[in-house]
Chain A
Amino acid sequence: MYADDVCVIVPVYNEEPAVGGTLAGLLDTFAHVVCVDDGSGDGSGEIARAAGATVLRHAVNLGQGAALQTGFDYALRRTRADHVVTFDADGQHDVEDAVRMLEVARETGVDVVLASRFTGQTEAMPFSRRMVLQAGVRFTRATAHLEITDTHNGLRVLSRRALTRIRLDLPRMAYASELLESIVPNGLTYTEVPTTVSYTDYSRAKGQRNSNAFNILFDLALRRLRSAR
């Protein structure tokens, strides 16, 4: 059982059917689970509180990146956690994987531990999704200068040092690339751990459309142009 020194951050937006189970699974292992309710219109927030999580509520929907950043700010300001785990609410991650990643972070002292569904086992991933994600990996390797095999995986372990250096600002889903791109310039160390992602009917229905990859590219390109002053 992990106590105060680890804070699990679960961004939630209208995940009523899944959030209870996901949080219950996490709370068996982690004492401190923070659920960021990103303006859900259903009962996700109440379910999360009932399950035993600390709930931060966005009054309006701001997107997953903003929800994670709120969780990071909470961890920095209100807790003494030396590591945070980011974990998707839809139940696609395995708590055991999070534990293994934490152990890697503790043993090696790296700032960012990323999960890879391509070196690990992935259950029932659609072919088209594989293609889009692989293209994303090639793009990220080129732009973020990271030797990784997966991007946009919701399971991550970040050290407190990493939290102080990473600031997520981009809208929609581009924050995941933004996070990766802030690793090397900020002098953070990273490693990748093979994990399992379960593509259930629920997570498929809730998840991203493949075409959203273009929106992510657009948001990233805009940021790059704007920051090149």
Chain B
Amino acid sequence: MIIKILLITGALGFGVLVLRDRGAGHHLLLRRLAGLTVVVLGIIAVLWPLLTTRVANAIGVGRGTDLVLYVLVMVFIYSAVATSQRIHRLERTVTMLVRELALRDTAGPVRDDSADVRPNGEERAS
């Protein structure tokens, strides 16, 4: 029963994460701590495999393997969401860069009849 609460809370947490896209570096400490915890728990689980089953039983999961699977699914979803948000931020950066470049290298018309072109190097591009 406890596992259901944990998993549903986890799933809702990811939902919030998807919707509230904070800037890079947000929750960095939290992410690092979570990563270290996973490492430590992983080592413990390898050294004492039966411990996972005992923990699993304590929170209402049949086998330790199932618990490990649940944790894996949660970690995977988190990683997928974090990656897609990172790509989204990168896309915005690329857009800004490309726009700046386009505005910098403005190509004036070939037959020059436009009165707007200012002398400050607008026609730098070939």
Contacts and interface: CB of A to CB of B under 8 A. Distances in A.
Q: What interface size band does chain A fall in?
A: 20 to 34
Contact of B107 (A57, A80, A171, A229): A57
Contact of A55 (B98, B107, B115, B116): B107
B102 interface: yes
A225 B92 CA distance: 18
Contact of B102 (A53, A57, A79): A57
B108 A54 contact: yes
A62 B100 CA distance: 13
Interface in B15-56: 19-21
A66 interface: yes
A226 B20 contact: yes
A77 B116 contact: no
B95 A55 contact: no
Interface in B70-126: 91-92, 94-95, 98-99, 101-103, 105-111, 113-118, 122, 125
Contact of B20 (A56, A62, A74, A229): A229
Interface in A58-82: 58-60, 62, 66, 69-70, 73-74, 77-80
A170 to B, nearest CB: 11
A60 B113 contact: no
Interface in A10-47: 31-32, 36, 45
Contact of B114 (A32, A58, A69, A229): A32
A4 B116 contact: yes
Contacts of B103: 56, 70, 73-74, 77-78
A22 B50 CA distance: 74
A194 interface: no
Contacts of A62: 94-95, 98-99
Nearest to B107: A55
A84 to B, nearest CB: 13
A226 B116 contact: no
27 contacts: A31-B116, A32-B115, A49-B107, A50-B110, A54-B114, A54-B117, A55-B107, A56-B102, A56-B106, A57-B102, A57-B107, A57-B125, A58-B98, A58-B102, A59-B98, A60-B94, A62-B98, A66-B98, A66-B99, A70-B102, A73-B103, A78-B106, A78-B116, A79-B116, A225-B19, A226-B21, A228-B19
Name the 4 nearest CB pairs between A and B, nearest first: A56-B102, A55-B107, A52-B109, A225-B19
Interface of B: 19-21, 91-92, 94-95, 98-99, 101-103, 105-111, 113-118, 122, 125
Given A55-B106, A60-B98, 14 more contacts: A31-B113, A32-B115, A49-B107, A49-B108, A53-B109, A54-B107, A55-B109, A56-B103, A57-B125, A66-B95, A69-B99, A70-B103, A78-B118, A171-B91
